[in-house]
Amino acid sequence: MTDAKRKTGLYWAVTAVSAVALILLTIFLPQGFWLGLPTFFGGLVMAMDWV
């Protein structure tokens, strides 16, 4: 098995941007909150290297 270099910086950026989007959706369009959850948690899981 080879050790591939993961781009965790990119994944942290995706998580941060989607967290901001989640906050904005919660403030301005509460029913759209659920749309941002998969991207946020997917980015978090990839950034923490849990996959």
In contact, 12 and 47? CB cutoff 8 Å = yes
Per the confidence metrics, is the pTM higher than 0.75? yes
Q: What does the pLDDT average to over 12-38?
A: 94
Question: Helices marked H in 1-51 — which ranges?
Answer: 8-28, 33-47
Give the integer Cα–Cα distance in Å for 1 and 8: 20
In contact, 19 and 40? CB cutoff 8 Å = yes
pLDDT in tens, 26-48: 999 999 889 889 999 999 999 99
Amino acid at 19: A
